[in-house]
Amino acid sequence: MIKDSKLAFDTLEVRSIASARGQPLDRITVRDYMKSVEIGAFQTERGIRQELRFNVVLEVARHDGAQTDDVDVVLSYDKITEAIEVELETERLNLLETLAERVAERILQHSMAVRVFVRIEKTERGPGSLGVEIVRVRDDERITDAGVLVRPVVVFLPNHVVEGDQLTEWLNMLEEIDAPTLLCVEPLLAVPFLGAAEPDQRLQLLGIEQTAWRLAARDARCVVVGTRTELDWAFKNRQMSVWAPSRIVMDAVDQPRGDDPIGLTLWFGQAFNAQCVWGCGNVKDDRLKLMQLPKVL
C-alpha cells in the first residue's frame, strides 16, 4: 500500500510505476479528457451539466507492435475514450464511483488489458477539484461472465389482464417461455397532469409502479425490479419480473415519455436488446405484436 501522501496525490503514471510488481508493463494514458455531463445524486444536480475531468492509465501486456509497426497489434487510446463515451451515453448516473467502476470494467474487457487506474474529478463544485480514483485488475473469470448476453422477452400486460380472471393462465403460459420474461404494465387509473415537466413525468411513472406492485401482490412469481443490477440478476436467473420504471427512465440519456406505457415498453425492449416485445390480451396498438392464450385455456 502506498503510504506517502505526496505520492497519493501524484499523477496516475507515477502511482502506476510506484506500485508495479514483477515484469514491467507498457502503459497507455489519457490525460485531462474533459466532458460536460449531467451527473449527481442531489435534486439540484438534475437538469444541469457539470465539467468532468478524466485521467486514465492502462497497463497492458507486452506486445511486438513497436517492432512490427502494426496498429492492429496494439491496444488503441481510442479504447479508453470509447469506454468513457459509451458509459456516459448509457444512462445518467448519480455517483462518480459508479461511473469509474463502469469505465474500468469496460476497458478491462480487452484481452491485452492488465490493470487500469481511473481518476474522475468534478472541476466546478468548489475552489478545487473533487473526485474519485480507483485501481482495478483484470479478472478473466468475471470478464467471461460479463460477456454473456442474456436477451429477455418483454411483454406488455394491459389492465384488463392484470385485474382479470385469466391472469394466472397468462402467467402460466409466459412461464413456459425459454427466456427471462420482463412484464410491463400501465397505470390502473389516469394520472392527472400538473403542467410541470419533471413532476408530471415522475407521477406518470409512479402510476405504472403502483400497478406493478398490484400485480406482484396478485401472483408471487411477478417480482418487481427497478434497477439495472436487479434486472441483470433477474435475466441471468430466468426470473419473471415486473418493471418499476422510475429509476431507469429518469436516469436515461434518451428519456422516454412516462405517459405512453406501450412506447415505454418498446423503449425498454430496444434498450435491453430484447428478443421480442409482445402484448397480451388483444392490445389495440399496432406497435406491438400480439400474444394470444391457447384455445385450450
Q: Is 255 exposed, middle or buried (0-12, 13-18, 19+ CB in 10 A)?
A: middle
* Residues facing residue 122 across a β-bridge: 52, 130
Q: Which residues contact 225 (CB under 8 A, 6 or more apart)?
A: 231, 234, 241, 242, 243, 244
**122 labelled catalytic:** yes
Q: Choose the catalytic residue: 13, 35, 38, 45.
A: 45
Q: Choose the catalytic residue: 59, 121, 122, 186.
A: 122
The answer to whether 109 and 140 are in contact (CB under 8 A) is no
Alpha-carbon distance values, 199 to 66, 160, 203, 231 (Å): 56, 27, 6, 25
**51 labelled catalytic:** no
Residues tagged active-site: 45, 122
